[in-house]
């Protein structure tokens, strides 16, 4: 599924002025899907305190750009996310938890995908398209302290330097206070 050019050009909900590098990451609890299926327990961001968390908002599962992004995460998981040791990747969209679990299974994604069907987390992080129930492609790196240490908006999934920058931001967050 491609995102129409008209949608891509739509206005977005502006980011709250208080959400910036150094701010506490807003907490949320969302249903999770993995390649093993729909998780019995939802993911609560604050439960991940003490590790680096990458929150990757994306528009739609199985769309071309999102497939490029998530496949790159899968293929470079060890390199970018330290194989999940001390770093947790949470991929967030408004798609249903059943749909994202199906995509995770079909594509062998080894990270957790979260369903934000009403845009609760997207609104907290100001990633929602105005007037649409769809999130923009925006990345947040949260340090072990629970504070935002890096924001990439928009995340350019087709530019290899975006992934290099993300890797550096994760490594920097490991030492952030």
Q: How do strand 43-44 and strand 29-34 relate by DSSP bridges? A: antiparallel
Q: Is 55 a catalytic residue?
A: no
- Smallest CA-to-CA distance from 170 within 70, 49, 89, 66 is with 89
Catalytic residue of the set 66, 114, 128, 134: 66
Which residues are known to be catalytic?
A: 66
């Amino acid at each position: 599924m491609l995102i129409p050019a008209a949608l891509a050009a739509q206005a977005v909900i502006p980011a709250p002025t208080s959400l910036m590098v150094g701010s506490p990451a807003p907490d949320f609890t969302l249903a999770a899907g993995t390649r093993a299926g729909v998780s019995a327990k939802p993911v609560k961001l604050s439960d991940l305190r003490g590790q680096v968390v990458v929150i990757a908002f994306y528009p739609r599962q199985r769309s071309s750009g999102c497939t490029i992004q998530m496949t790159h995460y899968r293929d470079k998981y060890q390199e970018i996310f330290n194989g999940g040791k001390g770093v947790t990747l949470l991929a967030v969209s408004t798609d249903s938890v059943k749909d994202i679990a199906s995509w995770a299974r079909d594509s062998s994604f080894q990270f957790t995908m979260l369903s934000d069907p009403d845009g609760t987390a997207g609104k907290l992080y100001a990633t929602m398209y105005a007037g649409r129930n769809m999130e923009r492609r925006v990345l947040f790196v949260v340090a072990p302290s629970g504070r935002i240490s890096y924001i990439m908006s928009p995340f350019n999934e087709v530019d290899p330097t975006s992934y290099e920058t993300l890797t550096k931001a994760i490594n920097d967050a490991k030492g952030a206070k």
